[in-house]
Structure 1
Amino acid sequence: MKNLIAGNWKLKGSPNLADSYISHLSKTKPDNCTVVVCPTFDLLGYISDKWSTEFGHLGVQDCFHDDTNYNDGLGTPEEIVSNGATYIILGHSDRRNKCHETSELVRKKVNLAWDKSLIPIVCVGEKSEDRKGNLTQVVVNGQIIDSIDFDNLRGPFVIAYEPVWAIGSGNTPTMEEIGEVHDEIRKLLVDLTCPTRGHNIPLLYGGSADDQNAGSILSVENVNGLLIGGASLNIQKFGAIIECA
């Protein structure tokens, strides 16, 4: 499968950043990997009007958990699709830890995303105390099992492993540590689905990944792409990551 490079702008995007992406991607038209750009919801319509499928795909960073009621702040899957997105990040550590979002709520959002043919990028990862207690795989596997309805898979999905302690810290696990977690995730997905499907679910790494370490991380077996945070706010850095994918 092609590597998938997803840029998560969080709340730091701007029309200028969107324009720099359009300018860069219109020249490079990357085809060596799958590119997904996830701006803030308020910028989605702006960038969608100028977007081409030659550039890649658009995504969003979350959605409201009820597609039938009006709400403040978060778009519904229906609104997201109507604004041009095809991917959606769900269960990001910011949502799980700062907003106390449970895996059960993530599962509900995943099902809503599938109902509208969105592809969920489901984020999982351990805190520093989990790693110190040798509970990394217990936590990660539990989040995967609880966040996705494996008895009723209705669409494709992506898993993004993002150790909470590494996000925005400048610290990353060793390549061996990343490989160990991704290998175990792959085994779990094979067990929960089947060998054919389990081996073809993209596994991304996220957590202080940038243009300096992207090549090394992407060389690790069972790493099929990256979820990029801070480095996605600079199109030159993000472009360099795409090139090495």
Structure 2
Amino acid sequence: MRRKLAAGNWKMNGTGAALPEITAISQAHGDAAVDVLICPPATLLHRVSETADGAIATGGQDCHAADSGAHTGDISAAMLAETGATYVILGHSERRQDHGESDLEVREKARAAMQAGLKTIICVGESLDEREASNTLDIIAGQLAGSVPDTVTGESLVIAYEPIWAIGTGKTPTLDQIGEVHDFIRAELERRFGAGVGRSTRILYGGSVKPGNAGEIFAVSNVDGALVGGASLKAEDFSPVVEALEKA
């Protein structure tokens, strides 16, 4: 059985004043029937890990492919792990767009993260133009082929489907559209890696997930949880999402 995952991506939000939200989430969901993860800014990661004290998991929002070196401003996977992080988000559309990250770069980062013992959440998703041109599945297939290393296991890999046009916009695909993509991702993973990895890898949906729509999204085939943006910044918004996943 795949253990479901509610992951919060704080993006470039949060200072030390936000730590009480971590306390509230940890106290509410320390014994949850699903995995709960918060990925705060790197500046907060160590303090968030200490505050969570193992009640929930913590993760980074990116890492460099190299172990160390002259890479000013970057953070290695080993550095993330030293903060207490056990996950890292890679290939988010905002990284792909804002920093020009290619599938190959994401693959190399994922390889480094897994070598450091981190579970990797690799993001895939299409633009609105690609969706309207009926190219969604081709785009997803290409991103999976290019971004996911050959050495993954079902334990080390999480895939997050985030349609770019739904991130932070309040728009979401139809439930049928979400199901089509998640079923396709599952089939692609099984085809490439076999039933073991293919069936044990968790596939999350991300893009304007909130308490009002979480329950119906979690009822869709092959949706094993969510990668939540803005709704993860406050315990009062994130907790209902976690609770909906527990009921799914």
TM-score greater than 0.5 by the shorter chain: yes
Contact 2:218 2:224 (C-alpha < 8 Å) held by counterparts: yes
Residue 35 (structure 1) aligned with residue 36 (structure 2): yes
- TM-score, normalised by the number of residues in structure 2: 0.94
Match of 1:209 in 2: 209
The structure-2 alpha-carbon separation of the partners of 1:30 and 1:175, relative to structure 1 and needing over 3 Å to count, comes to farther
The structure-2 alpha-carbon separation of the partners of 1:18 and 1:74, relative to structure 1 and needing over 3 Å to count, comes to farther
1:153 and 1:243 map into 2 onto residues whose CA distance is: 30
2:50 and 2:241 map into 1 onto residues whose CA distance is: 25
1:95 and 1:200 map into 2 onto residues whose CA distance is: 27
Residue identity opposite 1:153 in structure 2: V
Match of 1:163 in 2: 163
Equivalent residues in 2 for 1:203-242, closer than 5 Å: 203-242=203-242
The structure-2 alpha-carbon separation of the partners of 1:27 and 1:168, relative to structure 1 and needing over 3 Å to count, comes to closer
Residue identity opposite 2:39 in structure 1: C
Shift of 1:52: 2.0
Range 168-177 or range 18-27, more displaced:
18-27
Match of 1:140 in 2: 140
- TM-score, normalised by the number of residues in structure 1: 0.95
2:229 and 2:31 map into 1 onto residues whose CA distance is: 19
Shift of 1:27: 4.3
Count matched residues.
243
Residue identity opposite 1:132 in structure 2: E
Contact 2:36 2:56 (C-alpha < 8 Å) held by counterparts: yes
- CA deviation map 1:33-90 (0-9, x unaligned): 101110000001111222222x221001001222221433231111111100000000
Residue 153 (structure 1) aligned with residue 155 (structure 2): no
- CA deviation map 1:144-178 (0-9, x unaligned): 1100122x336621000000011011000000100
1:214 and 1:27 map into 2 onto residues whose CA distance is: 18
Equivalent residues in 2 for 1:52-71, closer than 5 Å: 52-53=53-54, 55-71=55-71
Match of 1:49 in 2: 50
Match of 1:18 in 2: 19
Contact 2:22 2:48 (C-alpha < 8 Å) held by counterparts: no
Contact 1:30 1:242 (C-alpha < 8 Å) held by counterparts: no
- CA deviation map 1:93-138 (0-9, x unaligned): 0011111100000000001001101010000000011111110000
Q: Which runs of 5+ in 2 are unaligned?
A: none
1:122 and 1:182 map into 2 onto residues whose CA distance is: 14
Partner SS state of residue 203, structure 1? strand
Residue identity opposite 1:7 in structure 2: G
2:25 and 2:111 map into 1 onto residues whose CA distance is: 34
- Supply the RMSD in Å over aligned alpha carbons: 1.3
1:28 and 1:160 map into 2 onto residues whose CA distance is: 22
2:9 and 2:68 map into 1 onto residues whose CA distance is: 27
